[in-house]
Amino acid sequence: MLLPIAGKPLVLHTVDRAREAATIGRVIVATDDDRIFDVVRESGVGAMMTSPEHASGSDRIAEVAERLPAGTIVVNVQGDEPVIPAATIDAAVQALLSNNAAQMATTFEHFDNADEVLDPNAVKIVTDPHGRAIYFSRSPIPFLREAVQKYGSLESALIAEPSLIGQFKKHTGLYVYRREYLLEFTRLARTPIEETEMLEQMRALENGAVMVAVEAAGRSIGVDTAADLERVRKILENKVSGA
């Protein structure tokens, strides 16, 4: 979070992306790290210290949401997403605001290649015709039965017919909550499929929540590795230089 990119820490670039979103009225960095808290506050950005005992980002965000006014729309942007398009944030917020039945909104991208589809770390999402999330899985879903029968395996099918890759959606980690639902959600017990898949969002679906999903406005990169850092560093340095 504090690694320098184009003259300032990574987390402050993520703050900039959130501030660029037209739907965002206030940005707060929630952290349990004194170093991050100090850097963010010194930059003039709002920050709140939260418990180090939280099991997930949703729990951390909920601690902050407790202090916000009733009816607030809360957007959870992961701090390691310094190139997330502001338009993606706006699209997710608008999707929730335009659906009174929904408690949450999230986003997805399309896959680039077969390896991504087969990677259990790349979470797949299935939506209904109205854009509501039906299921999330680390497995490739939906199952392409005819293609697998034809080619013998999903991997062979995706290699033989790359257009099949377009049938899968990759979930991305942006969430928008109605404040009251966020507080309710984080008090729910963990559910069987959540624990099987190790996917927190399944708790919401297993408890009947309506979650709308919209396509991201552009690619984002979560910085998990040194290679990821170099990729976003090039993007942001070029942006600063106007290249």
- The residues, ordered by sequence, that sit 6+ positions from 56 with a Cβ below 8 Å of its Cβ are 200
Per-residue pLDDT at 239: 81
Least confident of 53-57, 194-198, 209-213, 238-242: 238-242
Per-residue pLDDT at 87: 97
Name the pTM for this structure: 0.93
Per-residue pLDDT at 243: 56
Q: Measured between alpha carbons, how far is 63 from 15 in angstroms, rounded to an integer?
A: 19
Per-residue pLDDT at 39: 97
Domain ranges of the chain: 4-241
Where residue 241 falls among pLDDT bands split at 50, 70, 90? Answer: low
- The residues, ordered by sequence, that sit 6+ positions from 42 with a Cβ below 8 Å of its Cβ are none
Mean pLDDT of 63-92: 96
Mean pLDDT of 32-53: 96
Per-residue pLDDT at 5: 93
Average pLDDT of the chain? 95
Coil, strand, or helix at residue 143?
coil
pLDDT at 240 over 80: no
Per-residue pLDDT at 224: 86
Strand partners, 19: none
The string of pLDDT tens digits covering residues 167-194 is 999 999 899 999 999 999 999 999 999 9
The string of pLDDT tens digits covering residues 125-142 is 999 999 999 999 999 999
Class of domain 4-241 (CATH, top level): alpha beta
Q: Measured between alpha carbons, how far is 2 from 199 in angstroms, rounded to an integer?
A: 27
Phi, psi values for residue 154, rounded to 5°: -65, -40
